[in-house]
Structure 1
Amino acid sequence: MKFFFPVFLIVSHLIIGNIQDSTAQTAREIVEIMDQKMRGESMIVEMEMEIIRPRFSRTIGIKSWSKGQDFSMILITAPARDRGTSFLKRQREIWNWVPNIERTIKLPPSMMAQSWMGSDFTNDDLVRESSIINDYVHSIIGSEVIDGMECYKIEMIPKPDAAVVFGKILVWITKDSYLQLRGENYDEYGALVSTVIGSNIKKMDDREIPTVLEMIPSDKPGNKTILRYLNIEFDRPIEEAFFSVQRMKDLR
């Protein structure tokens, strides 16, 4: 999924009515418009994540706050055993508060590829340590129709010095509304790692976006994780001081 959210992350300062442009655009510009549309200047999001396995499933309630690309906070609201667990990103620093043991953990870059809360999303998907704009070289490699909508097919190759999880990403972005409907994540050897599908497009606050994201790992049959956006507020004022380690511990 890498940059659907975004999460939260999960997750992109332009309003829908001002986004469309008939002039020729580069692949980087298309991805940047999509990202800005999904993120806004800031976001306050309520969502639920359903983790599906062959023998069980469980649902996690989540609330998140983000400001630009540098600041984000995630709070687990359900189930009861995980309630109060939180995550904080400030620039390149990422922290986790575990209330059951009253411990604050600073996550090293080596943990970005690990599973987030037992789901098929990675830590990097949810708190987005890497930048889909600055850490990749973008190319338009084709055009395809998904669910009746014509999409740009864009390849993203990480820059040599970028600290990213995947070796290549393909994304399908609608030409008329700059919505990401599909993403494919590949490892450094070119093997498909996971697929993300966006669906259920509807209006959230002042813009239309995919409100359901389905993450499907390639090597685990029967496994998938579904992220459903329940409510989003774009461009509400949030002070940078909100994104602190102390506030992370105090969230309710």
Structure 2
Amino acid sequence: MLRILLSAILILTNAWAALSQNATDIVRKADEKMRGEKSSYSEMTMRIVRPKWERSISFKSWSKGTELSLVYITDPAKEKGQAFLKIKREMWSWNPTINRTVKLPPSMLSQGWMGSDFTNDDLLNQRSIVVDYIHSITGTENIDGEECWKITLLPKPNAPVVWGKIVMWITKKHYLILKSEYYDEDQILVKTELASQIKQIGGRTIPTVYELLPAEEPGNKTIVELNKIEFNININDSFFSLRNLTQAR
């Protein structure tokens, strides 16, 4: 009887490990689908919507792997030239108006990026969903006609993350993240991100519109439209430097 019980426990343990590994592979593939396996360059427009006003910001973005990224604001004119650099887990901003580079302290990571519902931490922790969380498949659901894995991400012990839980819906066909829910440490929903307008762009079938909805601020949302993207382009590591932060175009 003991031998049978031990065998059953071993089988369940191995099955759980395999499922967990599969979930991690799915998240990694979905992440690389949007970032590129090596690098990417993109042009986007972000629309910040509030109950009484809205405004748009256009920007260019370069990334290499999960540790290097640079963002350059192209519009509106009064904010054109502002740039943001990420190297590993550190982030700097450049403002040409005051001719100054500022390193963002940890206390600023939870603040809205350019006044949007996206935070500086969202930009900084691009690698986070793959390396800082334990992944598990917790179901399957249909989102906008696409069969999806429902995957729950729980932070690893001592991981430098702000979310107590993330739930993602990733399509089985193209590994696209169509929906993400972000919860705080008390498991209260903070925001939901929805992806739509799936098109062929940059040689891949991917969503081109992302809508971020804060849970406790009805009427507030941020919409990002992907206008152009190129994957796995040649970029030297030296491009992602404080010197180039002030010169990137």
Q: Residue 60 of structure 1: CA displacement?
A: 0.1
Deviations 1:146-194 (A, max 9, x none): 0111100000011121111211100000011100000000011011000
Please state whether the residue corresponding to 1:132 is helix, strand or coil: helix
Please state whether the residue corresponding to 2:80 is helix, strand or coil: coil
Uncovered stretches (5+) of structure 1, i.e. residues with no partner: 1-22
The 8 Å contact of residues 89 and 124 in structure 2, kept in 1 or not, is answered as no
Instruction: Report what 1:187 is aligned to.
Output: 184
Instruction: Report what 1:12 is aligned to.
Output: none
Deviations 1:100-149 (A, max 9, x none): 11111111223221110000001121233651111000111010000111
Q: Closer, same or farther in 2 for the Cα pair 1:240/1:77, shift >3 Å?
A: same
The 8 Å contact of residues 130 and 164 in structure 1, kept in 2 or not, is answered as no
Q: Which amino acid aligns with 2:192?
A: T
Q: Which amino acid aligns with 1:32?
A: R
- In the alignment, structure 1 residue 143 sits paired with structure 2 residue 118: no
Q: How many Å separate the matches in 1 of 2:92 and 2:126?
A: 12
Q: Residue 33 of structure 1: CA displacement?
A: 0.7
Instruction: Report what 1:5 is aligned to.
Output: none
- In the alignment, structure 1 residue 232 sits paired with structure 2 residue 229: yes
Instruction: Report what 2:131 is aligned to.
Output: 134
Q: Closer, same or farther in 2 for the Cα pair 1:113/1:59, shift >3 Å?
A: same
- In the alignment, structure 1 residue 71 sits paired with structure 2 residue 51: no
- In the alignment, structure 1 residue 39 sits paired with structure 2 residue 56: no
- In the alignment, structure 1 residue 153 sits paired with structure 2 residue 150: yes
Uncovered stretches (5+) of structure 2, i.e. residues with no partner: 1-17
Question: How many residues of Structure 1 are paired with residues of Structure 2 in the alignment?
Answer: 230
Q: How does 1:54-203 map to 2 (within 5 A)?
A: 54-128=51-125, 131-203=128-200
Q: How many Å separate the matches in 2 of 1:164 and 1:150?
A: 29
Report the TM-score when normalising by structure 1: 0.88
Instruction: Report what 2:9 is aligned to.
Output: none
Please state whether the residue corresponding to 1:62 is helix, strand or coil: strand
CA RMSD, Structure 1 to Structure 2 (Å):
1.4
Which of the pair is proportionally richer in helix? 2
Q: How many Å separate the matches in 2 of 1:151 and 1:55?
A: 36
Q: How many Å separate the matches in 2 of 1:223 and 1:163?
A: 27
Instruction: Report what 1:27 is aligned to.
Output: 23
Q: Which has the larger radius of gyration?
A: 2
Deviations 1:39-61 (A, max 9, x none): 11111100000000000000001
User: Stretches of 4+ moved more than 6 A in 1?
Assistant: none
